[in-house]
Structure 1
Amino acid sequence: MTVGNGYADFFGPQVPRTGDTSQTATFALASAAYRDNPVEDIKKADNEWHRTTVNPGRSWATLFRPNLGEAFSRAVIDRMLGKDRSPLIQSFGTEPQVVVEHCLAAHRIRKERDSRLTLVMAVCGLLFLPGMLAWLLVFQIRAFVVKSDNKQAGALATALLVGVGALAVLFLVKLPFSGFGGWYVRAAVVVPVIGWFWAKRICERTARDMRERWDSLLTGSSVGAKVPEAVPSNPNETAAEQLRQSLARLGAEQQSNSVFYAGPKGILGMGTRWGSWQLAEDLVPADPDREIHPFRSWDVVRSIHDQLALLERGPLNTGGFPKPSIRHWIVTPIGENAKAVSRPEGTDVEAYQVKPHAIQDICNKQQFGAGDRHYLGVQWTLWDGQLVITMLITVTVLHSTLRIEVTGHALGPVNPLFTGKSEAPSKQVAKSFKPWETRTVMLPLVTTQEVVRLAVRAPLTWYPPLLKWLGGTIALPEPFGLRHAWADQPWRHRFMTDDALRAATPVLRVVHAAALRVLKENGADTEKFGTRSAVLSGQVQDVSPKKADVYDA
């Protein structure tokens, strides 16, 4: 099946198969949709080049602020499935559809919880509005007290709540009113508290479900994301059809062969350029009496492509390279601080893919001045998607100089924020008769303040703009891609570093051997090329990662 722009369609949510090379990174990012950490924790995952902005909303509306899972799910859904969204950066090493589907599943679970909490608020809050407002004022003051840097803030907040509770009991006993008004006032004080106990049970049940899904994703049990709203049951369900097409569009864009070079940030989605090796010599006939047989850059690139496909083979049965992904990439330059990208359009592009004849034209003609450039890429996704190694090759011919450039790019593991499992709330307290020793006391999964926050937010979840204005949101780093936005550098991990550095030498030698073969077949003198290739082959054995895109000029 196909839709709209001609890209491949699918029916229903997709889940990575067992043994998929990208499970760990994918599920780590997906687990953020179920987390209940403070929303400010997302900034801990920022890297050198990409910053997430937390919009705190109204300072007086702290009860409406989202937690990390709520804000992350909403932001990812809006950014990746929005009707008029700007282009996304490919998430190499992950399955962005799976992450988005878990965000949708988490959003649906919260929506079901909020429906029940809205009923509680209507019965126990709206009908007894004066009492509910009084209690909310107490909790709002308590929230301000807890925000204080004072170490005694928690005890003071608890004392405030206990004191107000005692006053409420005294008020009920000594209430001077009688008749219907008196009973209504008493109910306005008591019923919101009953509603809180009801809401607490609802919140705890959902919290346990969320934490189970969070931990299941990180332990590799591959919990599926249930998104029934993405599978239309009849042609009249336009919302489900639109969501299904948005997911299909996301999958098609992930397969695009168009990428973007953002200066020192490197190629977005592939990581920074850490190494560069250039072979450049003049084209001279091997036989002075005969001219070189005409050939083009594409002929050299095609020969290199064929040889790179054999990288997984070797003379010894010692493991070696897994099967790489070899693709032709069209690279578009953008500014280092650009906030959006624009993919190629026109008759030469179909379903986000630049057509083969256009790739060949760019390879042969666009080698100097403005315009996109062609790169041949060989890519490995290793460490269950935590490491993406990409070696890019470009061939240019200017006047009589043939230049073959090989560059290395590496994208490291997702930030540890996304790989931490849930922890049961607890605290250490001194033992009664042995104050020099401590014991662990388990705390409620959902705190009193959290129940109030969820109950207050629930009715407003039906109108997200107002909830965002009150509680705030997170602004994802642009240009946005799920993988590179929260990726760390691989150089702090010894084995990941070794894998990235070891890939350079065999790739470089295969590229040079394939290029020399083409030159020899077309009557070019390969002596200087061979000498230069041998020099580079020696240099690459002592390779070390550098910031190759940060020019010291």
Structure 2
Amino acid sequence: MADQAFDFSPGAQVPLQGSGGQTAATHALASAAYRDGKLEDILKANSEWHESTVTKPKFSLFEPNLGEAFSRAVQLRMLGGSRKPLIQSFGTEPQAVVEHALAATRIRKERDAKLTGIMAVFGLLFLPGMLLWIGVFQLRRTIAGAQDKKTGALGGALLAAVGLLAVIFLLRLPFTGFWGYYLRGMIVAPVIGWLLAKRICESTAKDMRERWGSLLSGGGIGAKVPEAVPGNPNETAAEQLRQGLELLTAEQQSNSVFYAGPKGILGMGTRWGSWQLAEELVAKAPNKEFHQFRSWDVIKVVHDQLTLLQRGPLNTGGFPPPKVKHWVVVPVGENAKEVARPAGEDVENRFQVKRHEIQRICDHQQFGSGNRHYLGVQFTLWDGQLVITMMITVTVLFETLRIEVTGHALGPVHPLFTTKPEPKTIEVPKTVRFWETTKRTLPLVETPEVVRLMVRAPFTWYPPLLDFLGGKLVLPEPFGLRHAWADKPWRHRFMADDAMRAATPVLRVTHAAAMRVLEENGVDTERFTNRSMVVSGFVQDPTPRKADVYDA
């Protein structure tokens, strides 16, 4: 935790392949840190309830690409000193994603340090020429970004014309002596610097694409984050980063979640189904009262039975070991921009509500304002791409016992994050057999991209200035890595089947456990049994619905 004394633990580590069965979603999100596409592409991945935005650049030459903006936004939001609480990212390891963002940033900083040196030698010493070339490329980029294709083509013609004028200027220069050589150098030096910078940018681009492809192929190149491993107590920056990563992991394990109206429980996906059993508590023996019991007594037995779901009567594979956990559900507004986790003496390790407080909420906080208790059973499937959560709550109001089971499904990350890098190629006609074509591989980094990277490089020491000049990615709030870019599971037939198949066994185990507690305490269970059979029929309806959107 952040308030612990200094230690020399290894710090930033990435889960090994196969750990937790949720590497696919983690690697897909982590790969965004190494991507080189346009920043606006990430807007296509917005989920139904959570939309990220992009601020417009002041100068398009300073505009970041997708990987640069994603890495910076994720680091600031998840490791910032005064960051707001985060939403849990079920089915992923958010610490691993942040570590890859840090690793990608470190690689870019090493590249930018070299580019800054080139800019100092071939740009600063020949400042008028550098500004002239930058101005031409900025004008070309502005024109090329126009919607009109004719106007866009004018940008390329402009650059060619300026290059031709530069050659004429070199050959027919009216000056001699020192100024003659300087003016020639003013035109030539930025071009030489561009050639050197192109090699550096090409090498870094290959490295980044290899990491991107390896993550999506299952290889999972580890994220090297040496700045998060302090070597001595005096390295305060490294220690703060290490503690920030530990804080992130601790918050991921929190047992409190947030219910945001029609958006459902944040991080778990919208509620697609709800089944309720409610009947009167009547003593089995006439003229006698049944034994007193509480909601917690029922929930404890349900908890124990749900942990045995993977033990089926037939050897058919069946359920994987479920994660059964007591949750404190905190209500927030539908359009709330931030959340606040429970705090005080009933919370330990900053994020864990203590057991006695959970029991108190379960037994007494069932009506009116305040937090509520739910028992959740969660399955992480499809290598982390599908998270099925069934939430159970037991309430007793007057003489009525109500058992409610709700189904939540969090779908896979958007396909944008699962696309692998492809080589840049172009089809050209053959010299002799002109009716045939062949593919030619293009450089990964084109001329405008080299210029953009060179212009941004000297400003990387102060990222807020780059954010102001080039724009940035604005993450949706309340932010969680997974639910912000989750797709709907209903688009995938097998994922939809898995979500709906989990409902019936969980419902029947819950009802059976509750019936046992009622029997032991002398309650007549005939009505409950009959109602349970009716509800079991309803749960076999194969149609998912938006259960949190009340059409009233």
- 2:493 paired with 1:487: no
In the alignment, which residue of structure 1 is the partner of 2:376? 377
Q: 1:321 to 1:260 in 2, by over 3 A?
A: same
Q: Contact conserved, 1:10 with 1:248, CA < 8 A, in 2? A: no
Match of 1:262 among 260, 263, 266: 260
In the alignment, which residue of structure 1 is the partner of 2:31? 31
- Within 2, Cα distance between the matches of 1:499 and 1:189? 65
- Within 2, Cα distance between the matches of 1:7 and 1:464? 29
Q: 1:7 to 1:188 in 2, by over 3 A?
A: closer
In the alignment, which residue of structure 2 is the partner of 1:337? 335
Aligned residue runs from structure 1 range 48-87, under 5 A: 48-58=48-58, 61-87=59-85
In the alignment, which residue of structure 2 is the partner of 1:44? 44
Q: 1:150 to 1:197 in 2, by over 3 A?
A: same
> Helix, strand or coil for the counterpart of 2:340?
coil
Aligned residue runs from structure 1 range 75-474, under 5 A: 75-152=73-150, 155-351=153-349, 352-430=351-429, 438-474=437-473
Deviation at 1:57, TM superposition (A): 2.3
Deviation at 1:542, TM superposition (A): 2.4
Letter in 1 for 2:286: P
Q: Contact conserved, 2:17 with 2:218, CA < 8 A, in 1? A: no
141-150 or 361-370: which moved more?
141-150
In the alignment, which residue of structure 2 is the partner of 1:539? 538
62-71 or 433-442: which moved more?
433-442
Deviation at 1:152, TM superposition (A): 4.4
Letter in 1 for 2:225: V
Letter in 2 for 1:445: L
Q: Contact conserved, 1:327 with 1:378, CA < 8 A, in 2? A: yes
Structure 1 gap segments, 5+ residues each: none
Give aligned-pair identity as a percent.
Answer: 69
Q: Contact conserved, 1:11 with 1:244, CA < 8 A, in 2? A: no
> Helix, strand or coil for the counterpart of 1:482?
coil
Deviation at 1:239, TM superposition (A): 0.2
Deviation at 1:437, TM superposition (A): 5.0
> Helix, strand or coil for the counterpart of 2:479?
coil
- Within 2, Cα distance between the matches of 1:220 and 1:419? 11
> How many pairs are equivalent?
550
In the alignment, which residue of structure 1 is the partner of 2:516? 517
Deviation at 1:7, TM superposition (A): 13
> Helix, strand or coil for the counterpart of 1:478?
coil
Letter in 2 for 1:521: E
- Within 2, Cα distance between the matches of 1:269 and 1:30? 18
- Within 2, Cα distance between the matches of 1:277 and 1:432? 70
Q: Deviations 1:308-332 (Å, cap 9, x if unpaired)?
A: 0110001111110000000000000
Letter in 1 for 2:284: A
- Within 2, Cα distance between the matches of 1:300 and 1:91? 29
- Within 2, Cα distance between the matches of 1:331 and 1:434? 70
Letter in 2 for 1:127: L
Deviation at 1:539, TM superposition (A): 1.6
- Within 1, Cα distance between the matches of 2:435 and 2:305? 69
Letter in 2 for 1:447: E
- Within 1, Cα distance between the matches of 2:542 and 2:290? 35
Q: Please report the TM-score for the alignment, with normalisation by the length of structure 2.
A: 0.97
> Helix, strand or coil for the counterpart of 1:374?
strand
> Helix, strand or coil for the counterpart of 1:541?
coil
- Within 1, Cα distance between the matches of 2:80 and 2:361? 32
Letter in 2 for 1:467: L
Q: Please report the TM-score for the alignment, with normalisation by the length of structure 1.
A: 0.97
Q: Contact conserved, 2:145 with 2:152, CA < 8 A, in 1? A: no
Structure 2 gap segments, 5+ residues each: none
Q: Deviations 1:531-551 (Å, cap 9, x if unpaired)?
A: 000111122122321000111
- Within 2, Cα distance between the matches of 1:139 and 1:151? 18
- Within 2, Cα distance between the matches of 1:231 and 1:138? 44
Q: Contact conserved, 2:17 with 2:219, CA < 8 A, in 1? A: no
Letter in 2 for 1:219: S
Q: Contact conserved, 2:8 with 2:231, CA < 8 A, in 1? A: no
- Within 2, Cα distance between the matches of 1:52 and 1:5? 34
Q: Deviations 1:497-540 (Å, cap 9, x if unpaired)?
A: 01000000000000000000000100111010000001111221
- Within 2, Cα distance between the matches of 1:9 and 1:306? 39
Letter in 1 for 2:538: Q
Runs of 4+ in structure 1 over 6 Å off:
5-9
Q: Deviations 1:98-121 (Å, cap 9, x if unpaired)?
A: 000000000000000000000000
> Helix, strand or coil for the counterpart of 2:482?
helix
Q: Deviations 1:249-296 (Å, cap 9, x if unpaired)?
A: 000000000000111111111000000000000101111221110000
Q: Contact conserved, 1:87 with 1:341, CA < 8 A, in 2? A: yes
Q: Contact conserved, 1:7 with 1:248, CA < 8 A, in 2? A: no
Q: Contact conserved, 1:387 with 1:412, CA < 8 A, in 2? A: yes
> Helix, strand or coil for the counterpart of 1:542?
coil
Deviation at 1:10, TM superposition (A): 5.6
Q: Contact conserved, 1:232 with 1:240, CA < 8 A, in 2? A: yes
